[in-house]
Structure 1
Amino acid sequence: MDKFNNKYRIASARAYFWDYGWNAAYFVTICTQDRINWFGKVLDGKMVLSDIGEIAHKCWAEIPQHFPFVKLGAFVVMPNHVHGIVIIDKTETDLNVEAQNIAVVREQTQKFAPPSPTETQTQNKFGPQSQNLASIIRGFKIGVTKNARLLHANFAWQPRYHDHIIRDERAYHNISEYIIQNPVKWSEDKFYMS
């Protein structure tokens, strides 16, 4: 296990060679804390959503309203996790605006003090943390949490999420089918808890 600021930390699960703001399709799994079945239950191979499950479903569908460069693929809310495909599809205009925003932030930051040699060496290797997969998932989790806690104060997500970069049409089709079939195969799922 690595140390950061003299404390142990879990190494990132993100691919070190990949910028998660790049145009691509991503398969995402997000679990509830302690895999508690907050979102409902599976009956006869179909997901029956609880009120909190309805919130999760609604917040996922609203992602493109908050991130206009996102398209959504297959998605399912399961009792204690969600699976979905997030497609980042930035246009040339989106990319130009993003580059301008980064330049403005750097310029404003440099007005206060020039970066020290250690600051330049420790820049986030995953790039700016906006308009990327992490910011999309963070926004989704915040939206669900804020609304779910109005119904149950103890609702919480697992701190991390799992992602997989989808590399071709065949993988996209297979993952979509897996997501759609998830409720039917719930009792065989590694996240299954009765």
Structure 2
Amino acid sequence: MRKIEHYRKRLRLPFYDYSQYGCYFVTICTKDRQMVFGEVIDGEMKLNHFGKMMREALFSVLDNYRNSEISEYVIMPNHLHFIWFNQDDVNLSIVIKKIKGMMTHLYREYHKTQGLSYLPLWQRGFYEHIIRNDKDYERIVEYIENNPIQWHLDRFYTL
């Protein structure tokens, strides 16, 4: 019998130092694209209770990294995009782990207090893009700003 090996595509550049000073465009998705954070109505994202928790979790990471910034962000029904301006020499994976961990804690606690069963919240991993110049930054800012307006065209859109 032949052994089947599972290969998971590496998402990060193998020799890049993700703790160095710079800007990163990050996307984090919910598991199975669950619509957790609210809904888009007339091209505008309306955050629900969990969406507001997500915003709290996202910005809570700045308590640990006071020199860094989240310059742009959007929370969508089943994912979020943000630009992380790393000025604290912290590895991007650690930042994402803290954000996901904080939201998972808030989400799990809410379910516990309501007597609801908890389902995993996050898709494994995250997507990142190293922002290389001003033109790249402006393109990404425009994408983030227009994400709710173009929700029906988004690759993360599900009914």
Q: How many residues align?
A: 150
* Amino acid in the other structure paired with 2:70: L
* Amino acid in the other structure paired with 2:96: I
Q: CA deviation at 1:51?
A: 0.9
> Could you say which structure has the higher helix fraction?
1
Q: CA deviation at 1:88?
A: 0.5
1:54 aligns with 2:77: no
Give 5+ residue unaligned stretches, structure 1: 1-5, 96-130
- Distance across 2 between alignment mates of 1:163 and 1:50: 26
**Mapped contact 1:23–1:89 kept (Cα < 8 A):** yes
Alignment partner, residue 143 of structure 1: 102
Alignment partner, residue 73 of structure 2: 75
* Amino acid in the other structure paired with 1:33: K
1:190 aligns with 2:155: yes
Q: CA deviation at 1:7?
A: 5.7
Structure 1 residues 85-142: Cα deviation after superposition (integer angstroms, max 9, x where no partner): 001113xxxx6xxxxxxxxxxxxxxxxxxxxxxxxxxxxxxxxxxx210000000000
Alignment partner, residue 134 of structure 1: 93
* Amino acid in the other structure paired with 1:43: I
Percent of residue pairs identical: 35
Query: TM-score, structure 1 length as denominator?
Result: 0.73
User: What is the root-mean-square deviation in Å for CA atoms of aligned residues?
Assistant: 1.5
- Distance across 1 between alignment mates of 2:146 and 2:6: 38
Q: CA deviation at 1:154?
A: 1.6
1:159 aligns with 2:124: yes
SS for the counterpart of 2:6 is strand
**Mapped contact 1:32–1:157 kept (Cα < 8 A):** yes
Alignment partner, residue 40 of structure 2: 42
Alignment partner, residue 142 of structure 2: 177
Runs of 4+ in 1 over 6 A off after TM superposition: none
Q: CA deviation at 1:32?
A: 0.1
- Distance across 2 between alignment mates of 1:89 and 1:150: 32
Alignment partner, residue 24 of structure 1: 22
